A and B are shown apart, each in its own frame.
Chain A
Amino acid sequence: MSSWTIIQQSLPVFIKGFELTLWLSLIGIIGSIIVGLIVSLLQYFKVPVLHQIASVYVEISRNTPLLIQLFFLYYAFPVIGIKFGAELCGIIGLVFLGGSYMAEGFTGGFNGVSKGQMESGKAIGLSRWQLARYIVFPQGFSLSVPAMAANVIFLIKETSIFTVIAIPELTNTALDLIGMYYRSNEYLFVLVIGYAIILIPLSIVLTLLEKRVRYGSFGN
């Protein structure tokens, strides 16, 4: 069989994997942004106890590989009676990892707001909360856009690790097909194209967004 026939025949399976990768990424990213936002707010307002817990979470999450986090969720948790399906495991793992990266991104943005801005806000009598609401958050979010963009790309690529817990996303689909038919070149080719279709346009859009934020209404 020619390479093209192999590729053509595999396309329906790949499309399923492609959709799953997209879907898991989307949920994972949204979840990560929510967790990241909560964590960064706990840290910004130094909420007693919770902000220490948030810091411990960030350290654990950032300093362990996703692969190990997934093994833990998938193989170790059932031992103590907590059991998730593979896809849920994947999403929880991705959010656990992404949440801390997003939190660091937001925190970096908040910290990037200059001292002069804080002082001139204080000088007109703004309270701590008003300072956050009208000055630090709007400026901080736009400062954190480049970090957010990098995290989004990073998290999508990390979904390829889901293959170790047998989630049939793109990478898993390719490896499965190679295992069955031994046509590595063809399947790996489709795999690369699959990721490129998601990531290249996304990367372009995010770069445009970064530029817009930099030169847009928040520019100085």
Chain B
Amino acid sequence: MAEQILRVEHLEKSYQKKHVLHDINFHVDKGEVVTLLGPSGSGKSTLIRCLNGLEEYQKGTITFEGKEIVPTEKNWQQIRQKIGMVFQSYDLFPNLTVMDNILLGPTKVQKQDKFAAKKEALDLLKRVGLQDYANVYPRQLSGGQKQRVAIVRALALHPDFMLFDEVTASLDPEMVRGILNIIQDLADVDHMTMIVVTHEMNFAQQIADKVIFLEDGHILEQTPSKQFFSAPQTKRAQEFLDSMDF
């Protein structure tokens, strides 16, 4: 049996009166790529934000690399170095150059040797085709370039697990492919374990080992990718797939 890297059990989340996640249970194996699909407002983003402590949850447990997470801010600070996250809105730090954006985590949080970290950052930038942009500020980059830097920034910490939260949703269509290729490459070459929230159905189909389909904060099904796209178990998932253009 493959090694489980993440296990979520009976997770419940609500904002004041509004219950947004109901009894969420799933696990992710090492090297597995899970895509989280579902209509807008189904709780996909909220769910993956819970997985690195950006959202509090009221009940349930998250076990990461065999240890149940005690959800204090201090613990999350440690765990976040192992769980990289990339956001829809890139959120590069505008006051720092591309290189300093990337180095902040490795050198200040992890105290990596600056020289080695810099060399590695350059290699990563090269990998995403941005080796000439190390010393520019984020405002000088296009959306697609910003997002690539954001991915590099997350990878520079050597995470064991990556979360991608609709990372292509605010990009121009011609930029989308480049970002998806990078994620695909991470899965194929690095065997990175990841959860990908996306509305790009073709991409989801291509990359996912497993699909988790979420609606109104409930997991309606979790199925191997092939099966999900050819013969989903639930009527809702079928309707969802029918409504998507791919």
Give A residues with C-beta under 8 Å from B: 114, 116-117, 119-128, 130, 134-135, 138-139, 142, 217-220
Residues of chain B lying within 8 A (CB to CB) of residue A130: 108-109
Are B95 and A142 neighbours in the complex by a CB distance under 8 Å?
Answer: yes
| Residues 58-115 (chain B) with a chain A CB within 8 angstroms | 73, 76-78, 80-81, 84-85, 87, 89, 91-96, 104-105, 108-110
Are A125 and B85 neighbours in the complex by a CB distance under 8 Å?
Answer: no
12 contacts between A and B (CB under 8 A): A114-B91, A119-B54, A124-B84, A125-B105, A125-B110, A126-B105, A134-B96, A138-B95, A142-B95, A218-B95, A220-B138, A220-B139
Of A121, A123, A217, chain B has the most CB atoms within 10 Å of the CB of: A123
Nearest chain A CB to B160's CB is how many angstroms away? 13
Are B139 and A219 neighbours in the complex by a CB distance under 8 Å?
Answer: yes
With A119-B87, A130-B108: A125-B95 Cβ-Cβ less than 8 Å: no
6 closest A-B pairs by beta carbon, nearest first, are A124-B105, A120-B91, A125-B81, A125-B109, A116-B91, A123-B85
Are B80 and A218 neighbours in the complex by a CB distance under 8 Å?
Answer: no
Task: Pick the contact of B80: A114, A116, A125, A128 (CB < 8 A).
Answer: A125
**In the complex, residue of chain A having the shortest beta-carbon distance to the beta carbon of B150:** A120
Are B77 and A125 neighbours in the complex by a CB distance under 8 Å?
Answer: yes
B225 CB within 8 Å of chain A: no
Are A123 and B80 neighbours in the complex by a CB distance under 8 Å?
Answer: yes
Are B91 and A124 neighbours in the complex by a CB distance under 8 Å?
Answer: no
B154 CB within 8 Å of chain A: yes
Nearest chain A CB to B194's CB is how many angstroms away? 14
Residues of chain A lying within 8 A (CB to CB) of residue B81: 124-125
**In the complex, residue of chain A having the shortest beta-carbon distance to the beta carbon of B97:** A217
Do most interface residues of chain A lie in helix, strand or loop, or is the interface mixed? helix
Are B52 and A134 neighbours in the complex by a CB distance under 8 Å?
Answer: no
Residues of chain B lying within 8 A (CB to CB) of residue A134: 93, 96, 104, 108
Are B109 and A124 neighbours in the complex by a CB distance under 8 Å?
Answer: yes
Are B54 and A135 neighbours in the complex by a CB distance under 8 Å?
Answer: no
Known: A119-B87, A122-B77. 10 other contacts (CB 8 A): A117-B93, A120-B91, A122-B54, A123-B80, A124-B80, A124-B109, A135-B95, A139-B95, A218-B94, A220-B139
**In the complex, residue of chain B having the shortest beta-carbon distance to the beta carbon of A142:** B95
Bound-state Cα–Cα, A217 to B98, Å: 12
Nearest chain A CB to B96's CB is how many angstroms away? 8
Bound-state Cα–Cα, A219 to B138, Å: 9
Bound-state Cα–Cα, A120 to B89, Å: 10
Of B73, B89, B93, chain A has the most CB atoms within 10 Å of the CB of: B93
B167 CB within 8 Å of chain A: no
Are B108 and A119 neighbours in the complex by a CB distance under 8 Å?
Answer: no
Are B87 and A121 neighbours in the complex by a CB distance under 8 Å?
Answer: no
Are B154 and A217 neighbours in the complex by a CB distance under 8 Å?
Answer: no
Task: Pick the contact of B78: A122, A125, A138 (CB < 8 A).
Answer: A125
Task: Pick the contact of A126: B89, B94, B109 (CB < 8 A).
Answer: B109
Bound-state Cα–Cα, A7 to B107, Å: 64
Residues of chain B lying within 8 A (CB to CB) of residue A123: 52, 54, 80, 84-85, 87, 154
Bound-state Cα–Cα, A64 to B110, Å: 49
Are A120 and B87 neighbours in the complex by a CB distance under 8 Å?
Answer: yes
**In the complex, residue of chain A having the shortest beta-carbon distance to the beta carbon of B82:** A125
Are A220 and B109 neighbours in the complex by a CB distance under 8 Å?
Answer: no
With A217-B95, A220-B138: A116-B89 Cβ-Cβ less than 8 Å: yes
Bound-state Cα–Cα, A124 to B95, Å: 16
Nearest chain A CB to B158's CB is how many angstroms away? 11
B157 CB within 8 Å of chain A: yes
**In the complex, residue of chain B having the shortest beta-carbon distance to the beta carbon of A217:** B137
Residues of chain B lying within 8 A (CB to CB) of residue A127: 77, 109
Nearest chain B CB to A39's CB is how many angstroms away? 23
Contact bitstring B44-57, A, C-beta under 8 A = 1, else 0: 00000000111000
